Amino acid sequence: MKLEDWLTVAHLHRGQLISEFTVLEIAIEYYLAEHFVLDGAMQNSFRSIVLNRMTFESKRSSFKTILEQKEIASGFIKTKSNTYPHSKLIDEIRRLNDERNYFAHYTLVANVGFDENHYVIGLAEFRDSTKYKWYTIDEFNTLMMRIRKATNDVLKLKNQ
């Protein structure tokens, strides 16, 4: 594959991941809006005025707090030896946000051997020292599946 073609594919993968992650963020927004506002029209207003001005981390943290409060209200008691029932989902969302930030903020790079190593995208951060992140098609597809699973898990919680 020529470098120009590889870069086109890499740009497509970057956009695809950011787009898929946006669906996860919107699912969390809908959860938050439904938690605080019962009226559907007012939920849209709440999303527009409040949620669209929050960082993703603030939304994730709010989502986590609501889930923990619901778990406590249903009788869950947090101790040193247990975790909240949804802590794995919250942690996964945090890890996925880290990956999303690589795709959104790191520089797209290619290097000699990009094609032989079957990488579909390479990203670099130039802070303090150079840090590279390379993804094969399998790694990229796994990441996309993780985002979709987290989105589905959030959507399943909406009416609980």
In this prediction, residue 78 carries a pLDDT of 87
Structural tokens at position 23: 């669906």
Q: What is the pLDDT of residue 93?
A: 98
pLDDT given at position 148 = 98
Tokens for 12?
A: 């497509």
pTM score, whole prediction: 0.91
The pLDDT of residue 160 is: 72
pLDDT of residue 110: 78
Token couple for 152: 């589905």
Q: What sign for the dihedral angle of Cα 81, 87, 88, 91?
A: negative
Any alpha helices (H) in the chain, and if so which ranges? 3-36, 40-49, 56-73, 87-105, 137-157
| pLDDT block averages, 10 residues each, the chain of length 160 | 81 95 96 92 91 95 95 90 93 97 92 68 90 92 98 90
pLDDT score of 26: 96
